[in-house]
């Protein structure tokens, strides 16, 4: 009879032994964390830049990153995939005489009298919910654990309970076979000795304090994340300042301005071309003449604005309307509204910061779960990709420019 068949028939001998699948709880090492973070960065950062710029080569980073993550998870025997934690051919077997470990057809047996059991924790079945302060926590059934020493070697195994019936069966097995006489420290549902079927005196386990994170690990984490956080906060601060300028410009006064010069400046790379309109216009306020150059509050060149329509409109204009700061008449702008570039920077910043938050927040705050953060990440990235790919909500800034007098085509 193979191991799987033995497991299927284990219920008929519930009072002689109890068998549960071993679960490999994902506890990545420092190197695994670094590799995982680098793979995510390789996958998402170039992809976000590629989406915003239309660079097809950078867009390829997403499937490449997904493939690398798949290979990495496969190399780690799927322990980072939910439910793959449960090892189908590995079991912990509780018996009257001791405990057995079965893995891939191999078996190790330990007698209770020959081992020192540090902890036997029966905590949850798959889907069980428990209160954690004000929050409700959903467990996956692999929180159960046995820890013991044998021949100066420490053995630690998490085991999986798939439903409430299996958990109750293990509790009854422990009760009916009087495990307290074997000096096995048992914890049921975070309460020592609370089997839920009858009062029982059990040896209470010694409290084990969680090892503090070393200063070296904290320093490395801060050093690694600092440039990514700086980029995220920097882009967010830039776009917030630009939106603040737009809000302030709502109170600016409109004046007539004569177009002095205008040209389209472009910059090309291997995949795309970026544009910027450079122009000069002259206007007067309270009898004083000023020369302005600013077209919009967006800074720098980009390829997301409809510059050809705007250039064509301004290039044929002789007199236009510009907006002037009444407190500082030397400050002016042709288009005072929000631009596509500003929205693009905002969405890119939110996408970037949500990804960084997915790593940092669960580390800093115990109540923040990775699952909750990932939901926000997927929503933000979904909205961003739809915006950049489908050009949803694009702004045609040429429509926001008022031409008062056309230039004579013969000039």
32 domain-assigned: no
187/288 same-domain check: no
pLDDT value of position 208: 39
Q: By mean pLDDT, which of 125-134, 200-209, 262-271 is the weakest?
A: 200-209
107 and 253 both lie in a single domain = no
Mean pLDDT, range 23-32, rounded to an integer: 65
Same domain, 255 and 150: no
CATH number, domain with residue 141: 2.30.29
Give the tokens for residue 349: 């910043």
Is residue 171 left, alpha or beta, with left meaning phi > 0 and alpha meaning psi from -120 to 50? alpha
The predicted model gives 163-179 an average pLDDT of 78
Listed residue (392, 393, 388) closest to 51, CA to CA: 388
Q: Is residue 252 part of a domain?
A: yes
Reduced to 3 states (helix: H, G, I; strand: E, B; else coil), residue 307 is: helix
**Residue the block writes with tokens 């990709």:** 385
The pLDDT tens digits for 249-306 are 999 999 999 999 999 988 877 667 788 899 999 999 999 999 999 999 986 677 667 7
Contact 246, 336 (CB under 8 A): yes
Is the same domain home to 283 and 167?
A: no
Q: Are residues 276 and 183 in the same domain?
A: no
Confidence of residue 316 (pLDDT cuts 50, 70, 90): very high
**Range list of H helices, 152-214:** 164-176
Counting the structural domains of the chain, the total is 2
Whether 220 is covered by a domain: the verdict is no
Residue 178 pLDDT level (bands cut at 50, 70, 90): low
Least confident of 144-153, 187-196, 214-223: 187-196
One domain, residues 179 and 277: no
Domain that holds residue 116: 3-25+85-192
- Note the pLDDT of residue 376: 82
Average pLDDT over residues 213-227: 71
Do both 252 and 118 map to the same domain?
no
Residue at 8 is within a domain: yes
Q: How many CB atoms lie within 10 A of CB 316?
A: 14
Residue % of the chain over a pLDDT of 70: 70
Among the candidates 170, 192, 214, a domain finishes at 192
Residue 33 lies in a domain: no
Same domain for 377 and 302: yes
- Global pTM exceeds 0.85: no
Residues 308 and 375 in one domain: yes
């Amino acid at each position: 009879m193979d191991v799987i068949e033995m497991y299927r028939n284990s219920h008929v001998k519930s009072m002689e032994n109890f068998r549960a699948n071993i679960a490999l709880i994902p506890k990545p090492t420092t190197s695994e964390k670094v590799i995982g973070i680098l793979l995510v960065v390789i996958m998402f950062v170039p992809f976000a830049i590629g989406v915003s710029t239309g660079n097809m080569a950078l867009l390829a980073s997403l499937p490449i990153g997904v493939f690398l993550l798949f290979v990495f998870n496969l190399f780690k025997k799927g322990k980072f995939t939910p439910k793959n934690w449960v090892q189908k051919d590995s079991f912990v077997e509780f018996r009257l005489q001791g405990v057995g470990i079965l893995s891939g057809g191999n078996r190790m047996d330990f007698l209770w009298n020959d081992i020192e059991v540090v902890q036997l924790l029966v905590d949850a079945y798959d889907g069980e919910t428990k209160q954690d302060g004000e929050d409700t926590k959903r467990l996956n059934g692999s929180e159960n654990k046995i820890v013991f020493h044998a021949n100066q070697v420490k053995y630690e195994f998490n085991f999986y309970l798939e439903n409430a019936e299996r958990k109750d069966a293990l509790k009854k097995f422990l009760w009916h076979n009087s495990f307290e006489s074997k000096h096995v420290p048992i914890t049921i549902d975070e309460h020592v000795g609370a089997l839920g079927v009858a009062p029982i005196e059990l040896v209470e386990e010694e409290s084990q304090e969680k090892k503090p994170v070393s200063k070296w690990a904290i320093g490395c984490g801060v050093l690694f994340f600092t440039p990514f956080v700086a980029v995220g906060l920097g882009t967010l601060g830039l776009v917030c300042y630009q939106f603040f300028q737009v809000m302030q410009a709502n109170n600016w006064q409109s004046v007539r301005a004569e177009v002095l010069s205008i040209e389209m400046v472009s910059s090309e790379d291997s995949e795309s071309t970026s544009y910027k309109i450079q122009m000069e216009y002259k206007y007067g306020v309270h009898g004083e003449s000023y020369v302005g150059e600013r077209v919009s509050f967006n800074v720098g060149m980009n390829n997301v604005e409809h510059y050809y329509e705007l250039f064509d409109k301004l290039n044929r204009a002789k007199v236009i309307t510009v907006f002037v700061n009444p407190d500082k008449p030397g400050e002016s702008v042709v288009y005072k509204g929000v631009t596509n570039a500003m929205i693009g920077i905002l969405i890119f910043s939110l996408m970037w910061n949500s990804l960084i938050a997915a790593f940092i927040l669960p580390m800093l705050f115990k109540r923040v779960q990775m699952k909750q953060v990932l939901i926000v990440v997927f929503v933000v990235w979904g909205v961003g990709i739809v915006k950049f790919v489908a050009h949803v909500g694009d702004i045609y800034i040429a429509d926001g420019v008022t031409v008062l007098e056309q230039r004579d085509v013969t000039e």
